[in-house]
């Protein structure tokens, strides 16, 4: 899995230097819209022509930067899942890690990550199907073994639930694009995703008999 995650980082050494420089420059710039190809080229110590030869356009470079950030989040999650930490600490570390990485990314990169356009959507879909889902299956089994997750929860239902959440957030781009301002709301949604909103068990589907004991 690590090899698949690393493949999102680019193939050529010079190309990867340009991508990493772009991500770093965007992180340190207040208004990334003012960061030109010439600025990136100077910081990466290459010519603007090299960038255009490698990527074709600034938009394509932003796409590559977004893929790099997504892959970084994947590597972070994989590192915690494979660690010796208990399940609860792994989960908390993954949530905190995603916030840390996303907070360091620029609004333009975040917008590209959430755009679901034809350039980035296939990359994200492949990453989820081939890397994220297998990791989550293993993580779910570990949570069951340690008593943190209901043993009756079907793994495939859980993954479909994550798909529903992902589609929901994609449909509410403004919520994530302004995620720093919406942090309290996002924290509540995260709690809802993991804990639900009902404090006591309710027999929603009539699966528990209501017949009083001793009656016929």
Cα-to-chain-centroid distance, residue 35: 25
Using N-to-C axis directions, what is the helix angle for 87-104 and 133-145, rounded to 10°? Answer: 140
Could you tell me the domains of the chain?
2-195 (1.10.357.10)
Provide the b/e sequence for 143-173 (b: ≥16 CB within 10 Å). Answer: bbeeeebeeeeeeeebbeeeeeeeeeeeeee
Q: What gap in Å lies between CA 21 and CA 17, rounded to an integer? A: 6
pLDDT tens string for the chain (216 positions)?
A: 444 444 444 446 889 999 989 888 887 776 667 889 999 999 999 999 999 999 999 989 988 988 888 888 889 999 999 999 999 999 999 999 988 887 777 666 777 776 666 778 888 888 888 888 999 999 999 999 999 999 999 999 999 998 888 888 777 777 766 777 878 888 888 888 888 888 788 888 887 665 555 544
**Contact in structure between 131 and 16 (CB atoms under 8 Å):** no
């Amino acid at each position: 899995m690590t090899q698949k995650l690393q493949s999102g980082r680019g193939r050529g050494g010079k190309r990867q230097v340009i991508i990493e420089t772009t991500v770093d420059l965007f992180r340190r710039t207040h208004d990334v819209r003012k960061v030109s190809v010439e600025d990136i080229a100077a910081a990466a110590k290459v010519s603007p022509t090299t960038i255009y030869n490698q990527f074709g356009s600034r938009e394509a470079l932003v796409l590559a930067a977004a893929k790099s950030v997504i892959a970084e989040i994947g590597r972070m999650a994989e590192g915690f899942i494979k660690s010796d930490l208990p399940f609860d600490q792994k989960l908390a570390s993954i949530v905190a890690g995603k916030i840390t990485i996303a907070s360091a990314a620029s609004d333009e990169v975040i917008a590209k990550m959430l755009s679901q356009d034809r350039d980035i959507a296939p990359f994200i879909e492949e990453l989820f199907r081939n890397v994220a889902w297998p990791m989550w299956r293993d993580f779910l089994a570990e949570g069951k073994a340690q008593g943190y997750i209901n043993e009756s929860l079907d793994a495939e239902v859980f993954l479909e639930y994550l798909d529903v959440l992902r589609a929901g957030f994609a449909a509410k781009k403004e919520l994530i694009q302004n995620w720093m301002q919406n942090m309290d709301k996002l924290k509540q949604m995260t709690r809802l995703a993991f804990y639900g909103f009902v404090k006591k068990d309710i027999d929603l589907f009539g699966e528990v008999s209501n017949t009083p004991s001793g009656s016929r």
